[in-house]
């Protein structure tokens, strides 16, 4: 029966190609625009590390100005980053399974290959645990040790792409790399890693490319490296040297910990609260106690990684889809009622109301499926357009299989919902009405 | 006019009209709000920056190694860059305005404890900065070569600045502050405002205090800086490659990067706003199109259903224009019901957007404008089918089916 209904549906759809294409195009437009908006939203709101997102926490301590909150629009929040003093103090705790203090730095790389000019590059200054903390595998070598962090040894881990560029892709561990006019030793080559969003540091663009080089946290003291990310200071301090800057009430370090269970979580919260209480005795941390440890997904929400504009666009795209659906209901009503004589005859020949209803819904479903497929085309076009408008967002504007599935499924579902009323109307055609006229 | 009969007639088959009215209501809500957002974004993108953005080239110099000294390098670089034919003025700066990177600070209008502080962006520049940015000095004077300092550390207090009128007025809310005024830095050191700029935009285009900007005549003891090179009109693209070559030839203990035009930097900072405006404009046009097609479709259906009645009316004396008017009025009534509901919906959607996101309240004048537009769309949509209806021959009434 299903195949017979499909045949009827295709006959009916091909009988009026203009109306059919208009309906398919309308569904396709609505679904295409909506899917494009949803795709971007879905990638922005992506969980970048699903298997660990509930054990990785960003640490915040409220070391800010007693006179005003860090963000006046978010008074309950603590600063996004930590001071150098606090980041170093937190490293003494052994509660987290893994932990890393970090910030972004600008370095100048002087390649030994004569065909490459010196270039400036962003790097991450961090602890050796960084790689295990965020699950970044190594191609060659391994991370540096805690001692290397403390001593500020001139070691570097480079990404696979950078290794291809600088060392032609061979195992470069043990080789030297000249950075900022100093000799660094390559200890490892990490796999290319591109988390979307760049959750471990969302400060200067949550969808930027991650750094391709990593150096031990102590190197900053050695080479007097400032952060190339955000540095915010509130206190009126006379800062005349790098040494004084390290001691200042300026926040510029991010801090991540891995706390495997509730127990460690509570212990760690108690630890940071205890630390801040101690510091209060010393005259720091004049604000009320407000220390936060926030898991990845909540962190991305707090940091408003998904922009308001994207939410507005989803809303508007949804309303556009609804308008398209209203339009289709109108078109289907016209079409189905046009078929009333034919339906009347089928009913008179013994087709039940249910059978007529089912048959119409199958026709509607076929329309929806065609609309969904064509909608994918529109979505693809829309995403291409968005890539043109937002260079640098290429990786946010692509269709994956999930989205293809969702697009077709939602096209069929919404079209069938839109078709319910017209199908119901047409199956109530009285069997005799059209016979008499003949 | 026969409003009563037309209204009652359309109620006899109300699904189509109701669907149409709902569609028009939603369309109104979306296009009014979207057009309002588009207008705001366009206003934001096109605000005057105060600078000669179209003729400026910027480039970053990033020194490395023990023997690189920016404070020695800058005067030499400036001399070389100024010598390029077609260059009007050059300054060093630690960041580029409108780029999204910058250095903010706070000043106060008085040295008393608890005096309110005002945020602003600061740029460390050279003597010719006013010319190099192409900003307009409203009063006071520009910097001279003697003003430029080469401090050994970050902590050396600044003594004189040029700032924007907006910043000066924010520091002295009672107004009337002029060049020569004294402001105070975070540590309470007095700073003399030697010049006042008409307008100049700072670092972050999304920031409320974008117009609070000050120029400080100094070269900091750091490794990296930018050069702001202002070319004579029409010379920018010719000057651009020479800027890079000149810097590379002057000193090889550095990386020269990010050679960009200032307009490119501005455009990329406004990328999100421009993109939003374009996307919304596309959605609005598609929506108008879909609704327009819907109106044509519904009107054609209404005409087709009533061919016999139209013929009968014509046969008993109705003129062509009566038929035409009937369909125009019917459609106008549906559209009107739609826009009435739509006006309420428009305000509701705007209320939701204001409450959920940082968007502004809708200018109420946009609603009647949208209503007019949809009335027009409705009349345009129905015109074709109504003309066809009026062409139906009276003779049709005499035929059976």
CA distance B194 to chain A (A): 24
- Beta strand B117-125 with B213-217 is parallel
Residue linked to tokens 């739509």: B342
**How far, in whole angstroms, is CA B48 from its chain's centroid?**
11
Tell me the percentage of chain B whose pLDDT exceeds 70: 99
Q: What are phi and psi of B66, to 5 degrees?
A: -65, -35
A202 touches chain B (CB under 8 A): no
Q: Measured between beta carbons, which residues in chain B are less than 8 angstroms from residue A323?
A: 23, 26-27, 30, 287, 290-291, 294
In this complex, do A316 and B23 lie within 8 Å of one another by their Cβ atoms? Answer: no
Q: Which residues contact A296 (CB under 8 A, 6 or more apart)?
A: A47, A48, A49, A52, A53, A54, A56, A57, A58, A199
pLDDT in tens, A220-246: 999 999 999 999 988 888 888 899 999
- Nearest Cα of chain B lies from the Cα of A190 at a distance, in angstroms, of 26
B-chain CB neighbours of A244 within 8 Å are 155
Contacts of B353 in chain A (CB under 8 A): 312, 315
ipTM of the complex: 0.87
Residue A421 pLDDT class (50, 70, 90 cuts): confident
For residues B386 and B363, what is the distance between their CA atoms, to the nearest angstrom?
A: 36
A 142-181 → B contacts, CB under 8 A: 180-181
The closest alpha carbon to A12, from A438, A419, A423, A367, belongs to: A367
Instruction: From B353, B350, B386, B381, select the one nearest B23 (Cα to Cα).
Output: B381
Q: What is d(CA B236, CA B230) in angstroms, rounded to the nearest whole number?
A: 8
Q: Which residues numbered 34-93 in A keep a CB inside 8 Å of some CB on B? A: none
Contact B126, B148 (CB under 8 A): yes
The answer to whether B20 and B338 are in contact (CB under 8 A) is yes
Q: For residue A435, what pLDDT band results from cuts at 50, 70 and 90?
A: low
Task: Provide DSSP, A1-48.
Answer: -HHHHHHHHHHHHHHSHHHHHHHHHHHHHHHHHHHHHHHHHHHHT--S
Q: Which pLDDT tens digit goes with each residue over B262-278?
A: 999 999 999 989 999 99
Q: Where exactly are the structural domains of chain B?
A: 3-46+271-398, 65-252
Q: Which two tokens stand for residue B60?
A: 């970053």
CA distances from A264 to A82, A356, B227 (A): 21, 63, 51
| Residue A438 confidence class, pLDDT cut points 50, 70, 90 | very low
Q: Is residue B261 within 8 Å of B96, Cβ to Cβ? A: no
Query: What mean pLDDT comes out for the span B355-364?
Result: 85
Q: Quote the Cα angle for A212-A219-A103, to 5°.
A: 55
d(CA A107, CA A127): 17
Mean pLDDT score across all residues of chain A: 90
Instruction: Please list, in sequence order, all residues whose beta carbon lies within 8 angstroms of the beta carbon of residue B206, skipping any fewer than 6 positions away.
Output: none
Q: What percent of chain A shows pLDDT beyond 70?
A: 97
- Helices A17-44 + A353-389 axis angle, to 10: 50
Mean pLDDT throughout A97-112?
94
- In this model, does residue A433 exceed pLDDT 70? no
Q: What is the spatial distance between Cα B18 and Cα B29, in angstroms, rounded to a whole number? A: 17
For residues B354 and B343, is the Cβ–Cβ distance under 8 A? no
Express each pLDDT in A330-357 by its tens digit: 888 888 777 878 888 888 888 888 888 8
Domain ranges of chain A: 2-45+307-437, 56-302
Least confident segment among A109-113, B51-55, B357-361: B357-361
Q: Which of A19, A28, A73, A120 to mutate to test the interface with B (most CBs of B within 10 A)?
A: A120
Q: How many Cβ contacts (< 8 angstroms) between chains A and B?
A: 129
pLDDT at A434 over 80: no
* pLDDT tens digits, A5-63: 888 888 887 887 888 888 899 999 999 999 989 888 888 888 999 999 999 999 999 99
Can you read off the two tokens belonging to residue A319? 């309303």
Using a CB-CB cut-off of 8 Å, the residues of chain B touching A386 are: 275, 279
B138-173 pLDDT, tens per residue?
999 999 999 999 998 887 889 999 999 999 999 999
Average pLDDT for B41-55: 95
């Amino acid at each position: 029966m299903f195949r017979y209904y499909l045949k009827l549906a295709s006959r009916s759809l091909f009988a009026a190609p203009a109306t059919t294409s208009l309906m398919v195009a309308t569904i396709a437009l609505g679904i295409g625009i909506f899917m494009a908006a949803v795709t971007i939203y879905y990638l922005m709101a992506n969980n970048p590390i699903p298997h660990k997102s509930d054990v990785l926490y960003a640490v915040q301590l409220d070391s800010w100005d007693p006179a005003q909150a860090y963000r006046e629009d978010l008074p309950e929040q603590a600063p996004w980053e930590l001071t150098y003093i606090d980041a170093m103090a937190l490293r003494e705790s052994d509660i987290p399974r893994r932990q890393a203090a970090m910030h972004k730095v600008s370095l100048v790389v002087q390649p030994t290959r004569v065909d490459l000019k010196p270039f400036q590059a962003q790097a991450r200054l961090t602890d050796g645990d960084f790689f295990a903390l965020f699950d970044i595998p190594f191609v060659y070598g391994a991370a540096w040790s805690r001692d290397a962090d403390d001593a500020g040894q001139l070691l570097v881990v480079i990404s696979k792409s950078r290794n291809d560029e600088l060392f032609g892709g061979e195992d470069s561990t043990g080789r030297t790399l000249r950075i900022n006019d100093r000799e660094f030793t390559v200890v490892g080559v990490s796999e290319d890693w591109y988390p979307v969003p760049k959750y471990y540091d969302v400060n200067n663009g949550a969808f930027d490319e991650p750094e391709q080089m990593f150096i031990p946290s102590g190197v900053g003291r050695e080479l007097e490296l400032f952060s190339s990310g955000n540095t915010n200071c509130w206190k009126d301090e006379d800062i005349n040297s790098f040494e004084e800057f390290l001691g200042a009430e300026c926040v510029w370090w991010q801090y991540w910990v891995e706390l495997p269970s509730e127990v460690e979580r509570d212990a760690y919260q108690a630890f940071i609260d205890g630390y801040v209480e101690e510091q209060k005795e010393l005259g720091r941390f004049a604000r009320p106690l407000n220390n936060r440890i926030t898991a990845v997904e909540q962190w991305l929400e707090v940091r408003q990684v998904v922009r308001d504009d994207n939410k507005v666009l989803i809303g508007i795209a949804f309303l556009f889809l609804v308008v398209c659906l209203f339009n289709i209901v109108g078109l289907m009503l016209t079409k189905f009622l046009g078929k009333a004589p034919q339906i009347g005859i089928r009913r008179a020949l013994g087709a039940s109301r249910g059978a007529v209803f089912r048959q119409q819904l199958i026709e509607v479903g076929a329309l929806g499926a065609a609309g969904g497929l064509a909608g994918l085309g529109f979505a693809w076009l829309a995403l291409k357009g968005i890539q043109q408008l937002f260079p640098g967002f290429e990786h946010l504007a692509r269709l994956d299989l999930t989205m293809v599935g969702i697009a077709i499924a939602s096209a069929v579902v919404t079209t069938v919902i839109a078709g319910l009323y017209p199908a119901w109307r047409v199956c109530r055609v009285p069997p005799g009405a059209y016979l008499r006229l003949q | 006019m026969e409003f009563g009969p037309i209204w009652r007639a359309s109620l006899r088959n109300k699904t189509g009209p109701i669907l149409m009215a709902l569609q028009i209501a939603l369309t109104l809500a979306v296009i009014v709000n979207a057009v309002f957002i588009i207008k705001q974004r366009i206003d934001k993108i096109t605000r005057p920056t105060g600078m000669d953005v179209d003729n400026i080239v910027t480039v970053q110099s990033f020194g490395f190694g023990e023997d690189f000294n920016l404070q020695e390098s800058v005067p030499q670089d400036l001399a070389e860059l100024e010598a390029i034919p077609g260059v009007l003025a050059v300054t060093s700066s630690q960041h580029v305005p409108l780029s999204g990177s910058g250095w903010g600070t706070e000043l106060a209008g008085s040295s008393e404890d608890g005096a309110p502080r005002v945020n602003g962006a600061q740029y460390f520049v050279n003597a010719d900065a006013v010319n190099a940015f192409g900003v307009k000095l409203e009063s006071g004077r520009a910097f001279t070569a003697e003003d430029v300092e080469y401090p050994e550390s970050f902590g050396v207090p600044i003594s004189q600045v040029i700032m924007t009128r907006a910043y000066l007025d924010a520091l002295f809310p009672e107004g009337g502050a002029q060049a020569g005024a004294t402001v105070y830095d975070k540590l309470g050191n007095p700073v003399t405002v030697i010049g006042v700029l008409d307008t100049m935009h700072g670092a972050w285009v999304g920031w409320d205090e974008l117009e609070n900007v000050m120029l400080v005549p100094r070269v900091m003891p750091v490794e990296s800086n930018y050069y702001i090179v202002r070319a004579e009109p029409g010379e920018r693209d010719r000057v651009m490659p020479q800027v890079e070559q000149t810097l590379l030839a002057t000193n090889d203990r550095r990386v020269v990067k990010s050679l960009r035009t200032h307009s490119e930097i501005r455009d990329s900072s406004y990328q999100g706003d421009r993109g939003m405006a374009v996307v919304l404009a596309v959605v609005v046009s598609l929506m108008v199109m879909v609704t327009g097609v819907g109106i044509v479709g519904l009107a054609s259906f209404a005409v087709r259903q009533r061919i016999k009645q139209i013929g009968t009316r014509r046969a008993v004396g109705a003129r062509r224009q009566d038929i035409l008017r009937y369909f125009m009025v019917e459609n106008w009534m549906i559209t009107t019901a739609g826009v009435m509901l739509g006006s309420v919906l428009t305000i509701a959607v705007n209320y939701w957007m204001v409450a959920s996101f940082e968007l502004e309240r809708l200018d109420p004048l946009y609603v009647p404008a949208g209503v007019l537009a949809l009335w027009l769309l409705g009349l345009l949509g129905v015109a074709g089918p109504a003309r066809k209806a009026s062409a139906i021959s009276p003779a049709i009434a005499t035929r059976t089916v």
